[in-house]
Amino acid sequence: MTTYLSGLIGGGLIGLSVALLMLLNGRIAGISGLVAGLGRDRGERWWTDAAFVGGLIAGPPVFAALAGAWPDMRFVASLPVLGVAGLLVGFGTRLGSGCTSGHGVAGLARLSPRSLAAVLMFLTTGMLTVAIVRGFA
Amino acid sequence: MSAARRLAAALIAGLLFGLGLSLSGMLDPARVRGFLDIAGAWDPTLAFVLGGAVSVAGLGYALARRLPRPAFDAGFDLPPRARIDGPLLAGAALFGIGWGLSGFCPGPAMAALSTGALPVFVFVGAMLLGMAAHGWFARRFEPPKPRGDRANVPSARVQLR
């Protein structure tokens, strides 16, 4: 029960982040797009995107300082599988123009049919993948 | 001074995002994969996270729709394309497979770099390679497409939907 409550409040913080980046800077908080932009953009855009990503990376240690413990992490895949998964996530999020944040949070919040289609697609292939991997495990 | 404000706003928004991921349990690949495991011990936490995030972001975007421009910049920077097309669906499908295999998507993986755990660095390194591979692929095979740059936005007042 507390897990669901933490999820809801943590989700609210994520939503606040997405709302603030739009209301203050006019930008969509899509992590895959921001990270990819760091390899391409120059000038002020690079610095603001780097500031967002820097803040994101600072999140867990700041949380640890406030909560007294680091967030739980239990890895579910071997290093080679993580390598393959990373390639798929990197290539797929660029080809599909977004990930769980850009399509999942920002896109659904602006009621974008494109983002809804993307979310339904990645949820479907994600669930199928887990079902298949479990079948072999 | 606006540049400094934009920088500070981005930093604070990023920090809130990282705190939200930490609090919600979304840094934990086992929990994320538990949500995708509908045939097994299904863990609905991710639905609460997404519900909370979309509700608050939706309120913020509804407010943004009533504003002529963001507080610290000249206009809202939004993707120009609106069609559901092949690349969107194919890309989302590939992303979902990688997400299911690892329990990682880009936000939690980037945030988790600060934990210093080797598996996170392997995943993020491969993700950056995948992004670079797409950049090469796009330059080679796709016609140039309009980007969401400010130069492409004719008016500062852009509809958010």
pLDDT, tens only, B85-141: 999 999 999 999 999 999 999 999 999 999 999 999 999 999 999 999 999 988 887
pLDDT at B56: 98
- Interchain CB distance below 8 Å, B14 and A44: no
Which residues from chain B sit within 8 angstroms of residue A13, using beta carbons?
16-17, 19-20, 23-24
Q: B128 at the A interface (CB within 8 A)? A: yes
Which residues from chain A sit within 8 angstroms of residue B110, using beta carbons?
31, 35, 53, 56-57
Which residues from chain A sit within 8 angstroms of residue B50, using beta carbons?
11, 104-105, 108
pLDDT at B8: 98
- Percentage, residues of chain B above pLDDT 90: 77
Q: B146 at the A interface (CB within 8 A)? A: no
pLDDT, tens only, A20-47: 999 999 999 999 999 999 999 999 999 9
Q: B92 at the A interface (CB within 8 A)? A: yes
Please tell me the distance from the alpha carbon of residue A115 to that of residue B161, in angstroms, as a whole number.
11
Which residues from chain B sit within 8 angstroms of residue A134, using beta carbons?
37, 39-40
* A22-31, B47-56, B145-154, range with the lowest pLDDT: B145-154
Instruction: Please check the confidence at residue B150 and state whether its pLDDT lies above 70.
Output: no
Instruction: Please check the confidence at residue A137 and state whether its pLDDT lies above 90.
Output: no
* A52-66, B66-80, B117-131, range with the lowest pLDDT: B66-80
Going from N- to C-terminal start, the domains of chain B cover 1-78, 83-144
- Interchain CB distance below 8 Å, A75 and B29: yes
Query: Which pLDDT band holds residue B160 (cuts at 50, 70, 90)?
Result: low
Q: A75 at the B interface (CB within 8 A)? A: yes
Total structural domains within chain A: 1
- Percentage, residues of chain B above pLDDT 70: 86
Contact A100, A39 (CB under 8 A): no
**Count H helices, E strands: chain A?**
6, 0
* Domain hosting residue A127, numbered range: 2-136
Q: B103 to chain A: nearest residue by CA? A: A76
Pick from B146, B12, B101, B54: which is nearest to A122 by CA? B101
Which residues from chain A sit within 8 angstroms of residue B55, using beta carbons?
12, 15
Measure in Å the smallest separation between the Cα of A39 and chain B Cα atoms.
8
Query: Which pLDDT band holds residue A2 (cuts at 50, 70, 90)?
Result: confident
A4 exposed, middle or buried (CB, 10 Å; 0-12, 13-18, 19+)?
A: middle
Pick from A46, A89, A55, A77: which is nearest to B111 by CA? A55
Query: Which pLDDT band holds residue B151 (cuts at 50, 70, 90)?
Result: very low
pLDDT at B147: 55
Q: What is the average pLDDT across B139-161?
A: 54
Instruction: Please check the confidence at residue B36 and state whether its pLDDT lies above 50.
Output: yes
Contact A56, B18 (CB under 8 A): yes
Model ipTM over 0.90 = yes
Instruction: Please check the confidence at residue B159 and state whether its pLDDT lies above 60.
Output: no
Beta-carbon contacts of B141 under 8 Å, excluding residues fewer than 6 positions away, are none
Q: A137 at the B interface (CB within 8 A)? A: no
pLDDT at B82: 73
